[in-house]
């Protein structure tokens, strides 16, 4: 590479860095903190809309979305999540909080692996109800259904159904309390649940 070409690349990189610094300053004033490169270049609502997710839903640019994933309105999907709908569909309701690092699956390869490929991959749809909170790094295995307004603690493994309103945590997640605390905000009577 010629010296002139190197200088052109260095000039171009300097302009890109200047542009990113301007974007970073804007985002810092908007969010009150530093944001990742992906958040400098994309809007979280646009990321969710590009996947066909519901109105008002947002997700970080580094969320891995595979297969048939449907997400309702006004849900938040944190950084580093895996939403795997490749095994029969993954449905997430309205007003859910899917915290950083959450993994939700609709298939597993255990039987295929231990049978040395003689058995097929197992598939089952997974459903997350409305108003569900999934704590950081929770894992939801294929076929599980989590009922409306349930709370799943951080680092939990959900390998069976969790009823509506339950508080569950642990590995495997166990129900610790039914009827999770209600929000101090009265429900919106016009909401389509």
107 is catalytic: no
Q: What is the total count of domains within the chain? A: 2
In this structure, are 55 and 28 located in the same domain? no
Cβ–Cβ < 8 Å for 65, 51? yes
What pLDDT sits at residue 193? 43
Residue 77 counted as domain residue: yes
Spatial distance between the Cα atoms of 129 and 98, rounded to a whole number of angstroms = 12
Q: What is the pLDDT of residue 190?
A: 56
- Using a 10 angstrom Cβ sphere, with 0-12 exposed, 13-18 middle and 19 or more buried, the burial of residue 180 is middle
For residue 151, is it within any domain?
yes
Pick the catalytic residue: 74, 107, 108, 130? 108
Alpha-helical (H) ranges within 70-165 are 110-114
**Same domain membership, residue 19 and residue 111:** no
Same domain, 97 and 136: yes
Query: Quick one: 37 and 124 in the same domain?
Result: no
Q: Is 174 helix (H, G, I), strand (E, B) or coil?
A: strand
Residues 27 and 47 in one domain: no
Pair 87, 151 in one domain: yes
115/163 same-domain check: yes
- Residues 125, 37, single domain; the answer is no
Residues 63 and 155 in one domain: yes
169 and 147 inside one domain: yes
Residue 70 falls inside a structural domain: yes
Report the candidate in 160, 155, 191 with the shortest Cα–Cα distance to residue 174. Answer: 160
**pLDDT tens, residue order, the chain (193 aa):** 676 776 788 888 888 888 888 888 887 888 787 777 777 777 888 999 999 999 999 999 999 999 999 999 999 999 999 999 998 899 999 999 999 999 999 999 999 999 999 999 999 999 999 999 999 999 999 999 999 999 999 999 999 999 999 999 999 999 999 875 665 555 555 555 4
Range of the domain at 31: 1-41
């Amino acid at each position: 590479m010629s010296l002139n070409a190197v200088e052109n690349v260095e000039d171009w990189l300097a302009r890109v860095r200047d542009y990113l610094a301007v974007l970073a300053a804007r985002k810092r004033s908007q969010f009150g903190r530093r944001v990742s490169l992906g958040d400098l270049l994309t809007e979280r609502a646009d990321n969710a809309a590009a996947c066909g997710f519901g109105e008002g839903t947002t997700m970080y640019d580094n969320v891995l979305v595979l297969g048939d994933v449907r997400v309702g309105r006004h849900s938040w999907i944190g950084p580093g999540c895996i939403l795997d709908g490749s095994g029969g569909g993954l449905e997430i309701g309205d007003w859910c909080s899917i915290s950083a690092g959450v993994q939700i699956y609709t298939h597993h390869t255990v039987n295929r692996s231990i049978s040395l490929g003689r058995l097929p991959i197992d598939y089952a749809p997974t459903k997350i109800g409305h108003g569900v909170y999934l704590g950081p790094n929770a894992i939801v295995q294929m076929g599980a259904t989590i009922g409306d307004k349930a709370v799943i603690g951080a680092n939990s493994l959900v390998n069976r159904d969790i009823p509506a309103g339950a508080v569950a945590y642990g590995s495997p997640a166990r129900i610790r309390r039914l009827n999770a605390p209600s929000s101090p905000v009265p429900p919106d009577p016009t909401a389509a649940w």
